[in-house]
Amino acid sequence: MVILLKIYAQLDEGASSYILFYTSQERKIMNNIIATSEASGILPVPDSTVKPITVIGTEAIRNSFDEKCLIQAINSRLAPGVTELVLNPDAHAGYGAPVGCVMVSPTHIYPGPVGVDIKCSMSLLQMDLPEAELKSREIRRAVINALLERLPTGAGKGQRSVKRSRHVDYVNGRRVVTEGASPAVCDALGIPRHWPLACEDAAHLGHDQTQDALQVRFDLHERERGAEFLHSKLQQLGSYGGGNHFGEANVVHVEKSEAPIADAFGLADGKIAFLSHCGSRGFGYFLAQQQFRTLQERFATWGIPLPGGDKELVYAPLGTVEADNYLDDLALGCNFATLNHLLINALVLEAFQQVFPGVKGDLVYFISHNIARQEVVGNKLSWVHRKGATRAFPAGHYALKGGRYETTGHPILLPGNPAAGSAIMVANEGAAVSCYSVNHGAGRAMSRSRATRELVQKEVDAQLERGDILSNCRTYPIDEAPAAYKDFKEVLASVEKAGLARPVAMLSARFVMKDGDQGNGGAA
C-alpha cells in the first residue's frame, strides 16, 4: 500500500487542516464512491475520524464526477471547522470547492464555497398569458426585442447599454446594497412591494445583524475605490451578464398530482412563465475577488498552510475581523443580487405588457444557489455554504414557520437546458440527509473549452430549431449548448430517488435570452 503523506498543522483552537499529496493509486482508491442506495452514496476521506462526504446521485451520475471535483470535495471536507460536505448530482470542479456542493461549518466562513458570483440565483415570474399567444415566431421576436430594449446582456453591460432600462442613481444604488428589498427601495425602482415576500431572503444584514455595519463597509469601499467605480458596478442592476446566465420564456406544465402545491406556489398550467438566472454581476465579483486577495495575503503573511494546498480554500474563523469583513461584503453582494432579480422581473413584465397590453404577472419565487446562510444543522447553528446548491426546506421546517410556505415547503427552481426543459420542485423530509439542499441545475458535463472544441455549431442550432426554441443570438453560444450539460432527466431522477424532493411542474422553453455580445439584436 502506498503511504499517504499528510502534513498536519494546528491553525486555531479546535481546527485543523491537511495538505494532501496524492499519488495516482491513492486517487483511484479515494475516488471510489460507496453506494448506500439507488441514488446516494458516501465518499470516504483519508481521515477515518471524519464523517464521509454525502453523495447524491444514481450510479450514472456517481460515475460522472471528474477526479478534480472529488479531490476538491475531499480537500473541502478536511478543511478547518467543516462538519458536513454534500455532493449534489450536478457537481463538477469549481473554484476551490466543487460547484454543486454544500459545506457546513459552525466555526469558520469560506469565500470559495460561495464563489465569485455572490448570491447567483433563480427567479420565476408567472403570467396569465396562455401558451397559444406565443406560438407565432413573429410575436416571440417582438417580445425578445422588447426585452432587449430593457435588459442588457453580456459581461460589463449595464443600464446605459439599452434605451429603456430603469436608471438607478448612486444614492438609490447605495440603498439597494445596504437595505435590500425594503419598501422604500422597491418604490424607488418600481418593484411591487409584495414581491419581497416571495424571496428566500429579501434583505441581508451585516455581521452584527445591523444595517449600520453595511453602511460602514460601503463607506470604506467608497474611500478606497471611489464613488465613480462603485457607481459603474451599481449601474449593472437590472441586467443578466454573460456565461450561463439567461432569461427564458417557458410554458408551465403542472404535475396533476401536485396541483394543490402548484396553486399554493401561484403556478398556472398552460400559461407562460419567465425564468431568470443571474447574480450580483460586477459588484459581487469585485467584493469576492477583493476578499480572496485579502485572505490569501493574510495566509502568506502568517505562514498558514492552505487546505489541500488550494489558495481558493482560504477561510476566516468566525469572530475575527477578517470574518466580519467577509460577512459584510457577502451581505452587500447578496442585496445587490436580490434587487437585480426583482428589477429584472419588473422589466420583463413591462416588456410583455408592451406586446400584450393588460397581461398580468406575479413573482413565484426567488432563490439563491451561491450563498452562505446561518441554519441549524444537527442541533448546532452553523454557516451552510451552498455553492451551486439550492436550499430545500420541506413543509413544517422550522425556518418556514409562520410564513407563506410553512404548510407546503418553498418552491425549488431548477434550470435544466432549453432542449430538456426545467423543473419546479418541492422538498421532502428526506432532504435532511443533504442538509436540506438539492442541486442548482443540470451541472456541466463539459468544460467551456472542451465544448467549444468538440461540439458542432450547426448541430447545436439545429437542435433548438427542431424544438422551435428561439433566442436573441445569431448562433447559440456553443459553450452553453445543451450537450455541454449533464443529462437533466438523470439529475432529476437522482433527486427524486434519493427522496430529497419531487417535481411540482415542468417548464418547456419557447425562447431564450443569452449573452447579447453574441446576439443580433433580436432579428431573425
Q: Domain locations in the chain?
A: 5-109, 121-518
Check if the beta carbon of residue 87 is closer than 8 Å to that of residue 53: yes
Report the chain's mean pLDDT, rounded to a whole number.
Answer: 91
φ and ψ at residue 34, rounded to 5 degrees: -95, 120
Check if the beta carbon of residue 73 is closer than 8 Å to that of residue 103: no
Cα–Cα distance, 184 to 203 (Å, whole number): 13
User: What is the model's pLDDT at position 160?
Assistant: 75
C-alpha dist (Å) from residue 19 to 9, 10, 75: 9, 12, 8
User: What is the model's pLDDT at position 28?
Assistant: 53
User: What is the model's pLDDT at position 387?
Assistant: 97
Cα–Cα distance, 302 to 130 (Å, whole number): 61
Name the 3-class secondary structure at 166. coil
User: What is the model's pLDDT at position 197?
Assistant: 96
Q: CB-based burial of residue 449 (10 Å sphere; 0-12 exposed, 13-18 middle, 19+ buried)?
A: exposed
The kind and range of the H/E element at 40 are: strand 40-43
Check if the beta carbon of residue 308 is closer than 8 Å to that of residue 343: no
Cell of residue 223, nine digits: 474611500
CATH 3.90.1860.10 fits 121-518, yes or no: yes
Q: CB-based burial of residue 513 (10 Å sphere; 0-12 exposed, 13-18 middle, 19+ buried)?
A: buried
Cα–Cα distance, 206 to 223 (Å, whole number): 19
User: What is the model's pLDDT at position 158?
Assistant: 76
**Ranges of the chain with pLDDT below 50:** 1-21, 25-26, 29, 518-524
Q: Report how far apart the first and last C-alpha atoms of the chain are (Å, whole number).
A: 63
Apex CA 500: angle with CA 494 and CA 78, to 5°? 85
User: What is the model's pLDDT at position 153?
Assistant: 85
* Alpha-helical runs (H) found in 226-320: 227-234, 259-265, 281-302
User: What is the model's pLDDT at position 154?
Assistant: 78
Cα–Cα distance, 101 to 439 (Å, whole number): 8
Name the 3-class secondary structure at 336. helix
209 Cβ contact partners less than 8 Å away, ≥ 6 residues apart = none
Return the closest-CA partner of residue 399 out of 439, 438, 436.
Answer: 436
User: What is the model's pLDDT at position 11?
Assistant: 32
Structure-derived torsion over alpha carbons of residues 221, 223, 224, 226, reported in degrees to the nearest 10: 90
Check if the beta carbon of residue 239 is closer than 8 Å to that of residue 157: yes
Structure-derived torsion over alpha carbons of residues 472, 484, 104, 107, reported in degrees to the nearest 10: -70
Helix (DSSP H) and strand (DSSP E) numbers for the chain: 14, 21
User: What is the model's pLDDT at position 24?
Assistant: 52
What's the distance, CA 176 to chain centroid?
A: 20
Cα–Cα distance, 45 to 74 (Å, whole number): 6
Please count the residues of the chain.
524
Cα–Cα distance, 343 to 351 (Å, whole number): 12
Check if the beta carbon of residue 207 is closer than 8 Å to that of residue 480: no
Cell of residue 389, nine digits: 446548491
Return the closest-CA partner of residue 152 out of 134, 139, 168.
Answer: 168
Cα–Cα distance, 361 to 274 (Å, whole number): 10
C-alpha dist (Å) from residue 460 to 156, 479, 518: 26, 10, 15
Check if the beta carbon of residue 390 is closer than 8 Å to that of residue 367: yes
Cα–Cα distance, 469 to 494 (Å, whole number): 27
